[in-house]
Chains A and B, each alone.
Chain A
Amino acid sequence: MELGDLEQLQASFRHEAADLLIDLGGALLQLEQEPLNAEVVNRVFRAMHTLKGSGASAGFRRLANFVHHVEEVFNRIRNQQLQSTPELIDATLKACDCCEMLLELGSTASDTPLPLEIEVLAAIRPFLPEMDKATGKTQPAKMASGPARYKIGFRPNREIFFSGTDPASLLLELTDLGEIEIRCDTADLLHADEFDPEKCYLCWEVCVETKQPEDAVRAVFLFVEDDCEVSIEREEPAASARTESKNKDARFRDAAEQCFTALGFALEQCQSGDEKQGLGTAHRAAQTLISAGKAHGHAGATAAAGEILAAILVVQQGGILDAGWLLNVRLLIEAARIAVGAPAAAPTAISSQLAPTKAAEAPPAPEAATGAAAASIRVDAVKLDALMRLAGELLVARGALPAFAERVELIAREESPKSMAKEMRDAGAKVSRLADDLQATVMSIRMMPVRQVFQRFPRLVRDLARNLDKNIELHVSGEETELDKTVIDRIGDPLTHIIRNAADHGIESKADRAQKGKSAVGRIDLSAYTRGSTVVIEVKDDGKGLDPAKLKRRAVEKGLLSESAVAAMDEEAAFKIILVAGFSTVDKVTDVSGRGVGMDVVRNGVEALHGAVHIKSEIGKGTRFRIELPASLLVSKAIRVAVSGHEVVLPIDTIRNMVKIPKSVVRTVQGQQIAPVRGTVFPMLWLAHALSFGRMEERRAELAVAIIEAASGPYGLVVDHFLGEVEIVVKPLNGVLAKVPEYVGAAIMGDGKTVLVVNTERLFSLQRSAAVTQNDPPVALPH
């Protein structure tokens, strides 16, 4: 195997393991609530089993071995030898954390156990009384955790060095597993006529005594076993020395046994009345046995299976299925069993086959998809970004086509350029459709369910509640809501801080809640939903709520805000004080939060995503944080406008509508220009003034106005002309321009020109704060 393959395999294992650990975490929390739910125990067990098996296959031996111990505990729970306890759940959740670390360390992990690993193993030891002893009873032999002895024959391919593998490193890896005896066979070296130093003439016989599962031993040779002769045998008292061909025999017998089992099921089904299905199953089982016999070169078994198939065909082609036929087939099966060399079925097994059992009922309906294991596609983020850029630029490029066609039409004096123009228009329309599709597809890949972030919170709240000695329930809804990947990646921290804050400062202590007559269990609601192109995430607690007066007092005491500033604040502004850096309302610094850092992360994080935070709170009843985020960040629609001979674009999502109004309706009230638009009076802002572009065109009697919906309130933005709608890819500004708050970024247009994107959201408030300091009259205004 080439290194690239191994790396790819390990990378995909890492992804899968991360998913499995999340699933596992969820299942464990559910198990804590419902300790007797066998389905959940099974889910935990299966996740661990897969983690272990895939981990060993991908070369994560340490991880596989570690998981094996924990899995064994759940195997005991599954077999009802043990019951799940909160302590065990605690230890297992820690085990998940430990698995994450081992994943990080990867296949290069040394054998020094991590502190957490030791802690977890110590914690689960009581649940595994025989962890250090070899017991074949409670464990599947293949995965035995007691010391077992393996005899390994390793004859490397002579060319092994050319594949970049050093046999010595494999032997060294084996020494990591436990006690080892190595014998080197030098016979080939001594007898080689010509010694070639680039070839490997040695082979080894190794006996290793290890507590690791057999898979761990096999994993050492996983990537050489196709090129080299490798035999690994577990030395058991019953079957000590099995050769490779005997292994093959055993596998053939296992396969044949499986066919007999399937035939058994099939006959039961025939007896229960479903003849057609039963005969189909029997036919396939017999056919499979014939194939296996052929593959293994076992003529006797093949012939015996052929007789079974012949008997089945008789009924399938119209013969009668009666007790005589059933008996005959059973005899043929026994004959085949003998032919294969497997021990004949014990009498009890036969009688159980004869007795109609409930297993012979019609096949049950497919079970519902378990848990949240939804199918998902993994896309390399780099590739995705490239695809995004392409899609965006294709959209932009197609914008140039109609304009080009228009120009051709203008200069066309003959028929042919005209028809050419038409063709170009058609081509443009086609590109347009393709681009729309491409964009939609790519955007949908980028969109991910918010579950990816939400799924970490049940664990967080549980741990917080335990640390704080509070009863807290987290209710999550709207996990399906989709957000852009960038937003998903960056919204976790702000949400974590809000939830921590809710658990720590919002929800009262058990005693306080009892005193206030509130229900003993505090509740935090985490929900997400879509509203237009905005996604709303809410965190609501039923705790003690925020006191605006206290917040204001505190902010002044800490010197964060002036008396006059807080006096002018409305309630929501006062709530938002908690988002100011350096603010903390608690006197006691707790483990969880309350160091006065953190909540400013919320504001900064959300603003960086072009979102907004709103807070509502009622003393004694609780607090609600509401985060509004754009569902997607990348391609957006915009309106091109001309102003003072320049071209800029306005993001369309902030524009309520675009109108033309007569110049004469504009009035100045207390230094602010206002104008009525469709019955409502809006403050007016001249874009040329706001961007310091100099004078507007004055010869027009009409003003082109875009009514902008800003968070601070709507206003009218006066421009020279509207030039039309475009799709733009906004790129953030760098260097000096990055510090100019009037712009959100630059957009590349269809003709390759770069145009600035106006920050319509903040433009008006920027202008108003500037007006306080400078009293220059704005550009010539109509009166």
Chain B
Amino acid sequence: MKRNVLIVDDSEFTRNYHSYILREASFEVVTAVDGADALEKLYSRSFDLVLTDINMANMDGYEFIRRVRSSGDYDDLPIVIISTESESEDKSRGFLAGANFYIVKPSDPKPLIENICMVLGIEVSEGGHSGDA
């Protein structure tokens, strides 16, 4: 079963790069350019996980996550932050806003996939090689 991931990042490169890594690991990917865009996309279909940046111009990651959580419809949707900010304070803000997990950018492909699989509770090989099966 392919899992759907919503990637939220205002950097085109990062969107492409993360999309590439996730697609290679057999995830379905939808991208959004900022929090506002992500909210719209989120309502358009169902996702298994959201991978979001923090520093974005038009609605940042914290606000985006807060809105998703406050809607009440997505209490169980895993949200993973991926940000260059690595301070404990940033992580604290992220978790308190409603994130499940925090990855410091840049992340190599393998740990990124492993971390996402861990948050999803699926074995890495399941996400990584379902294309071969």
**Interface residues of A, Cβ cutoff 8 Å to B:** 1, 5, 8-9, 12-13, 15-16, 46, 49-50, 53-54, 56-58, 215, 218, 222, 225-226, 248, 251-252, 255, 258, 261-262, 265-266, 269, 277, 280-281, 284-285, 287-288, 290-292, 294-297, 359, 363-364, 366-367, 369-370, 373-375, 377-378
**Bound Cα distance from A709 to B117, whole angstroms:** 68
Smallest CB–CB gap between B89 and chain A, Å? 7
CB-based contact A252/B95 at 8 Å: no
Given A9-B20, A215-B106, A367-B60; A261-B98 close (CB under 8 Å): no
Given A57-B17, A222-B109, A375-B58; A292-B119 close (CB under 8 Å): yes
**Bound Cα distance from A206 to B78, whole angstroms:** 39
Interface residues in B72-120 (C-beta closer than 8 Å to A): 75-76, 78, 84-85, 88-89, 91-93, 95-102, 105-106, 108-111, 114-115, 117-120
Given A50-B105, A255-B115; A374-B69 close (CB under 8 Å): no
CB-based contact A366/B63 at 8 Å: yes
Number of interface residues of B (CB under 8 A): 56
CB-based contact B13/A58 at 8 Å: yes
Decide if B124 is an interface residue (CB 8 Å cutoff): yes
CB-based contact A292/B10 at 8 Å: no
CB-based contact A291/B121 at 8 Å: yes
Q: Which of A262, A280, A295 contacts B122 (CB 8 A)?
A: A295
Provide the residues of chain A in CB contact with B17, threshold 8 Å. 9, 54, 57-58
**Bound Cα distance from A370 to B93, whole angstroms:** 17
Smallest CB–CB gap between B93 and chain A, Å? 6
Smallest CB–CB gap between B44 and chain A, Å? 19
CB-based contact A291/B78 at 8 Å: yes
Provide the residues of chain B in CB contact with A58, threshold 8 Å. 13, 17
CB-based contact B101/A288 at 8 Å: yes
Decide if B56 is an interface residue (CB 8 Å cutoff): yes
Smallest CB–CB gap between B26 and chain A, Å? 11
Decide if B33 is an interface residue (CB 8 Å cutoff): yes
Decide if B123 is an interface residue (CB 8 Å cutoff): yes
CB-based contact A255/B101 at 8 Å: yes
CB-based contact B115/A251 at 8 Å: yes
12 more A-B contacts (CB under 8 A) besides A15-B13, A261-B91, A359-B89? Answer: A15-B12, A46-B84, A49-B84, A215-B108, A222-B109, A258-B102, A280-B69, A284-B98, A285-B95, A290-B121, A363-B62, A363-B96
CB-based contact B33/A375 at 8 Å: yes
Given A50-B84, A255-B101, A295-B118; A9-B12 close (CB under 8 Å): no
CB-based contact A16/B34 at 8 Å: no
Across the interface, name the chain B residue whose C-beta is closest to A232: B108
Q: Which of B16, B98, B109 contacts A280 (CB 8 A)?
A: B98
Across the interface, name the chain B residue whose C-beta is closest to A8: B16
Provide the residues of chain A in CB contact with B55, threshold 8 Å. 46, 369-370, 373
CB-based contact B84/A53 at 8 Å: yes
**Bound Cα distance from A294 to B11, whole angstroms:** 33
Can you list 29 residue pairs at the A/B interface with Cβ under 8 Å? A1-B24, A8-B16, A9-B13, A12-B13, A13-B13, A16-B13, A46-B85, A215-B106, A218-B108, A226-B24, A226-B25, A248-B114, A251-B115, A258-B91, A261-B88, A262-B95, A269-B96, A280-B98, A281-B96, A284-B98, A285-B95, A291-B118, A294-B122, A295-B124, A359-B89, A363-B97, A369-B60, A373-B55, A374-B57
Across the interface, name the chain B residue whose C-beta is closest to A20: B11
**Bound Cα distance from A53 to B86, whole angstroms:** 14
Across the interface, name the chain A residue whose C-beta is closest to B10: A375
Smallest CB–CB gap between A517 and chain B, Å? 45
Provide the residues of chain A in CB contact with B105, threshold 8 Å. 50, 53
Across the interface, name the chain A residue whose C-beta is closest to B92: A265
Provide the residues of chain A in CB contact with B99, threshold 8 Å. 284
Smallest CB–CB gap between A671 and chain B, Å? 63
Across the interface, name the chain A residue whose C-beta is closest to B97: A363
Smallest CB–CB gap between A258 and chain B, Å? 6
Smallest CB–CB gap between B14 and chain A, Å? 7
Closest 7 interchain pairs by CB?
Answer: A53-B106, A291-B121, A292-B118, A16-B13, A262-B95, A294-B121, A295-B118
Provide the residues of chain A in CB contact with B91, threshold 8 Å. 258, 261-262, 265
Provide the residues of chain A in CB contact with B84, threshold 8 Å. 46, 49-50, 53
CB-based contact B16/A291 at 8 Å: no
